[in-house]
Amino acid sequence: MAVPAASSQQGGSGTGGPRPPAYPSGVTKAVTAFIDATRFDAIPEKAIVEAKRCLIDGFGVVLAGATVHGSAIVRDHIKSSLTTPSGGGTPRAVINTATIFGPEKMSANAALAALANGASGHAMDYDDTQLSSTPDRVFGLLTHPTVPVLAASLAVGERLGVSGRTFLEAFLTGFEVECKIAEAINPDHYLRGFHSTGTMGTFGGVASAAKLLKLTPAQTAHALGIAASMSSGIRVNFGSMTKPLHAGRAAENGVTAAELASRGFTAGDDGLDGEWGFFRVFGGGADVPRIVGALGKPYSIVDPGVSFKPYPCGSLGHPTMDAMLKLVTDHDVKPDQVVRARVRAGSNILNPLRYKTAKTELEAKFCLPFMMSAIVLRRRAGIREFTDEFVASAPVQAMMTRVDTVFDREIEARGFDKMRSIVEVDLKDGRTLKQASDERYRGGPENPFSRADLHAKFTDCASLVLPADRIRRALETIESVEKLANVRELASALS
């Protein structure tokens, strides 16, 4: 993948001799100024509307994700820090608590609540994805923007008892910072193995928390520097419980960095810039104009926008899943008719979706043969298909052996700005059926979820922990969040 030409990349001198690389500069100052200056009344109405759509989707996946085993382990870990060292089980006094969502009533300090809710929000890999705006960035792989900033904003906002307007202001501030940093960093950052939801999400979390804590510009710069040292997450952990932990740690670290800075804790003044700053160390540089002068112009939540996931798994498989669904429904293909199936795609899809067969639901989220098998067997692949029991079932295990993935050079040559693939199915009667994926990603701005679609997804997710009447109340509260006098009302509606 080509690296964009930018002022931050290395280049030769006019005399033909080498010159020092032009390291990113001015980014920390620009981000600090944006956080300090953002006001709810100046945010475009379209951004407010889209933010509430992201909150519906985000809170839904937090509630659903709280029911999985990995999330329960995180909550158990937090519980252990809230009991006496003697192990007697007596809860310590916890002040200024924030809600942890899930099957049981639970609360903790803001940082730990952000950890738990952030990890739950990414546990099913069902949360939204940031779209790339140019072909040199990989479509759909910039970051999962909502969950880290949602978890951080709500935890700190609930602790402080801020209004719904102030909560939304902080959420959009962190969302924009996270997305613009993801757009600006050299795409080598992701290609070398960093998980951008963990790395960029940390900056979204710290920006939201800094806004709510009303840090001074100097404190905000230090908070960004602290966050730069805490930012982490690597792709080797895809298909395990640690991938969602990246989102939880991003939210937790963002809150912790801002709270430390509020107490006078210091860091480098230019944590994003220079030879030793985040952009250079983590990505090898940055396209500085994508962030300096671009923050809020326009808000990334509006343009290029966000995509909502129709399936609880790696987004790169979704158009292929839709293609298989169209094929089996259009031709009424029954599972016992399938001899073999093939997915033709480029490296942008085949490399991240790396499991040839899946043994667990976590592996299944990055396994094209499972995705295809679920569609063939059940004509759906939702939260009730992505379970260890279904993945391990005999029909699924048998069907996965009939699905091949094929690197397609022609698709590869078309670039990574869209998620392109072709599904081929060989039937027992000798026919081979083919279906290309739709380049207009379902759930993305070109083919968006309707309000009814979002409500249906939220209802399906929330039904794992809330009764129907509470689900309706929760939706109403989210959609009128800017009218709330205290964001604790939102936490109460969801818990």
C-alpha R_g of the chain: 23
Domain assignment present for residue 21? The answer is no
Same domain assignment for residues 88 and 142: yes
Domain assignment present for residue 233? The answer is yes
**Residue numbers of the domain that contains 395:** 315-436
Same domain assignment for residues 396 and 470: no
The enclosing domain of 109 has a CATH number of 1.10.4100.10
Domain assignment present for residue 412? The answer is yes
Same domain assignment for residues 210 and 92: yes
Same domain assignment for residues 291 and 374: no
Tens digit of each residue's pLDDT (9 = 90 or more) over 238-265: 888 999 999 999 999 999 999 999 999 9
**CB < 8 Å & 24+ apart, contacts of 42-49:** 43/169, 43/172, 43/299, 44/298, 44/299, 44/302, 46/302, 47/172, 47/299, 47/301, 47/302, 48/168, 48/172, 48/482
Domain assignment present for residue 254? The answer is yes
* Other beta carbons within 10 Å of 167: 28
Same domain assignment for residues 101 and 250: yes
What pLDDT is recorded for position 348? 87
Same domain assignment for residues 263 and 177: yes
Same domain assignment for residues 51 and 77: yes
- Which residues, at least 6 apart from 448, have a Cβ–Cβ distance to it below 8 Å? 308
Domain assignment present for residue 19? The answer is no
Domain assignment present for residue 402? The answer is yes
What pLDDT is recorded for position 13? 36
What pLDDT is recorded for position 440? 86
Same domain assignment for residues 234 and 290: yes
Q: In this structure, are residues 55 and 481 in contact, taking their beta carbons and an 8 Å threshold?
A: yes
Measured between alpha carbons, how far is 474 from 489 in angstroms, rounded to an integer? Answer: 10
- Which residues, at least 6 apart from 159, have a Cβ–Cβ distance to it below 8 Å? 96, 97, 98, 109, 110
What pLDDT is recorded for position 73? 97
Which neighbouring-strand residues pair with 104?
Answer: none
- Which residues, at least 6 apart from 430, have a Cβ–Cβ distance to it below 8 Å? none
Q: How many domains does the chain have?
A: 2
The enclosing domain of 386 has a CATH number of 3.30.1330.120
Tens digit of each residue's pLDDT (9 = 90 or more) over 366-422: 999 999 999 999 999 999 999 999 999 999 999 999 999 999 999 999 888 788 999
Measured between alpha carbons, how far is 153 from 146 in angstroms, rounded to an integer? Answer: 10
Domain assignment present for residue 2? The answer is no
What pLDDT is recorded for position 335? 97
Same domain assignment for residues 406 and 465: no
Give the chain's residues under pLDDT 70. 1-21, 83-96, 133, 135-136, 138-141
What's the pTM value of the predicted model, to 2 decimals?
Answer: 0.88
Same domain assignment for residues 103 and 167: yes
Same domain assignment for residues 479 and 425: no
Measured between alpha carbons, how far is 153 from 251 in angstroms, rounded to an integer? Answer: 9
Return the HEC string of the chain: CCCCCCCCCCCECCCCCECCCCCCCCHHHHHHHHHHHCCHHHCCHHHHHHHHHHHHHHHHHHHHHCCCHHHHHHHHHHHHHCECCCCCCCECCCCCCEEECCCCCEEECHHHHHHHHHHHHHHCCCCCEECCCCCCCCCCCCCCCHHHHHHHHHHHHHHHCCCHHHHHHHHHHHHHHHHHHHHHECCHHHHCCECHHHHHHHHHHHHHHHHHHCCCHHHHHHHHHHHHHHCCCEHHHCCCCHHHHHHHHHHHHHHHHHHHHHCCCCCCCCCCCCCCCHHHHHHCCECHHHCCCCCCCCCCCCCCCEECCCCCCCHHHHHHHHHHHHHHHHCCCCHHHEEEEEEEECHHHHCCCCCCCCCCHHHHCCCHHHHHHHHHHHCCCCCCCCCHHHHHCHHHHHHHCCEEEEECHHHHHCCCCCCCEEEEEEECCCCEEEEECCCCCCCCCCCCCCHHHHHHHHHHHHCCCCCHHHHHHHHHHHHCHHHCCCCHHHHHHHC
Domain assignment present for residue 422? The answer is yes
Same domain assignment for residues 484 and 344: no
